[in-house]
Amino acid sequence: MNMKVSFSTLACPDWTLPQIIAIAVGESYDGIELRFVQGEDSLWKLPVFSGKELASTKRALADHALTISCLDTSCRFDSPHAAERRRWIVEGERMADLAAELGAPGLRVFGDTIQPGADRASTQSWIAESIRELAEIIATRGVEVWIENHGDFSAAQEAAAILAQAACPRVGVVWDPANSFAASQEQPAEGAALLQSAIRHVHMKDLQHNQNVWRYVLAGEGDFPLLDLKSALDRLRYERFLSFEWEKKWHPEIADPEIALLHFARWFRKNCA
């Protein structure tokens, strides 16, 4: 299948946009998943994404035929407090304005964690209600809401249940099968069968289990069945983005972005293209 490949700027959180574009072009990525730029995750705050600089940014992306595959937010909707969930909806609206400007089809959001004193059912309801509300608010912008399977809701079954409760066609999933694999050994074929057409964007990364801890390793060097993931997506006839997520922001000890982004691009072309 004709899958496209991007990378998350979680790999290079302090880089400027020109640095990000340069490595994307140099390693023949089709797109960029924006998470952090110059250390900022509320990207709408950055000059490069507003006013005249935004116009220049859009031209630079177009000149290099680069797509913004997904605009990642830090929005999470697990709080028992409605005011806190509302705060994240407002952040999501601001990010959706930027996503529309950049032509990004979706916003990544989280569930994410069952808070002290809360239970799974209530948390699931808060998440479903919040993502439906955000999706309805931003519908006119042409941007969808994509929830990542993450935290206490890592299993594909959990994401599917939230989507069913949200019952909104403008809500989908950023599927991170490595999260499910690390949490419960869920195999890519299982997750793909559960989520199917709800999958709007896919994170790809490798993990190695060592002394009861999962560690990020370069593609092809770990225990996660990357090629099984490719096969599962082929069976679904998936043609959206596969996005390399190298969590350098949260794990500074792992390889630098210049190494990891180059390695993944070449591994992908050899094994998946």
pLDDT (average), residues 145-166: 97
Mean pLDDT over all residues of the chain?
Answer: 97
Tens digits of residue pLDDT in 7-34: 999 999 999 999 999 999 999 999 999 9
The ranges assigned to domains in the chain are 4-271
For 18-22, 104-108, 157-161, 209-213, which range has the lowest pLDDT when averaged over its residues? 209-213
Q: What does DSSP assign to residue 70?
A: E
Tens digits of residue pLDDT in 183-226: 999 999 999 999 999 999 999 999 999 888 999 999 999 999 99
Rounded CA separation 174/189 (Å): 16
Percent of the chain with pLDDT over 70: 100
Rounded CA separation 271/149 (Å): 25
Q: Comparing 272 with 88, which gets the higher pLDDT?
A: 88
**DSSP E strand boundaries for 43-104:** 67-76
pLDDT at 134 over 70: yes
Which contiguous run of DSSP H or E holds residue 58?
helix 51-63
Rounded CA separation 57/140 (Å): 23
Q: Taken in order 49, 53, 54, 60, is the CA torsion positive or negative?
A: negative
Of 85, 159, 86, give the one whose Cα is nearest residue 115. 85
Which contiguous run of DSSP H or E holds residue 121?
helix 120-137
* Per-residue pLDDT at 211: 83
| Contact in structure between 243 and 33 (CB atoms under 8 Å) | yes
What pLDDT band is residue 51 in, cutting at 50, 70 and 90? very high
* Per-residue pLDDT at 212: 85
* Per-residue pLDDT at 1: 58
* Per-residue pLDDT at 79: 98
Residue 216 pairs in a beta bridge with 207
* Per-residue pLDDT at 179: 96
- Phi/psi for 69 (5° steps) reads -70, -30
CATH 3.20.20.150, domain 4-271, yes or no: yes
